[in-house]
Amino acid sequence: MAKPTYVLIMAGGIGSRFWPLSSTERPKQFLDILGTGQTLVQQTFNRFARMVPVENIYIITSGAYVPIVQEQLPQLPVQNIIAEPMRKNTAPCIAYICFKLINDNPEASLVVAPADHQILDEAEFVNVCNRAIRFVETREALVTLGIQPTHPSTGYGYIQKHPMAVDSFIYPVKQYIEKPYLELAKSFLKNEEFLWNSGIFIWKISDVLKAYATHLPELYALFNESSGAMNTEAESEAVNALYALCPSISVDVGIMEKSDKVFIIPSSFEWSDLGTWNSAWENMPKDYRWNAVAGKDVKIIDSANCVVHTSPGKTVIIQGLDDYIVADTEQGLLICRKDKEQEIREYVAEITKLPSPVLQPVEKAT
The whole-number average pLDDT for the span 202-220 is 98
Judge whether residue 161 has pLDDT over 80. yes
Which of 161-170, 295-304, 355-364 shows the lowest per-residue confidence on average (mean pLDDT)? 355-364
Helix (H, G, I), strand (E, B) or coil at 28: helix
Judge whether residue 364 has pLDDT over 60. no
pLDDT given at position 343 = 85
- For 24-46, how does the pLDDT look when each residue is reduced to its tens digit (9 = 90+)? 888 999 998 887 889 999 999 99
Report DSSP letters for 168-226, one per residue.
TTBEEEEEEEPSPPHHHHHHHHT-TTEEEEEEEEEEEHHHHHHHHHHH-HHHHHHHHHT
Judge whether residue 172 has pLDDT over 50. yes
pLDDT given at position 1 = 44
Rounded-to-integer distance, Cα 59 and Cα 74, Å: 13
pLDDT band (50, 70, 90) for residue 337:
very high
Judge whether residue 362 has pLDDT over 60. no
Query: What domains sit in the chain, N to C, each tagged with a CATH number?
Result: 5-273 (3.90.550.10), 284-353 (no CATH)
- For 59-89, how does the pLDDT look when each residue is reduced to its tens digit (9 = 90+)? 999 999 999 999 999 999 999 999 999 999 9
HSE (side-chain half, CA atoms, 13 Å) at 136: 30
Judge whether residue 361 has pLDDT over 70. no
| 0.85 surpassed by pTM | yes
Rounded-to-integer distance, Cα 119 and Cα 44, Å: 9
- For 223-267, how does the pLDDT look when each residue is reduced to its tens digit (9 = 90+)? 999 999 999 999 999 999 999 999 999 999 999 999 999 999 999
Rounded alpha-carbon distances, angstroms, from residue 87 to 13, 238, 240:
8, 16, 11
- What value does the mean pLDDT of the chain take? 91
- For 278-313, how does the pLDDT look when each residue is reduced to its tens digit (9 = 90+)? 888 988 889 999 999 988 889 999 999 999 998 877
Rounded-to-integer distance, Cα 64 and Cα 25, Å: 8
Rounded alpha-carbon distances, angstroms, from residue 348 to 19, 122, 157, 310, 351:
8, 35, 24, 19, 5
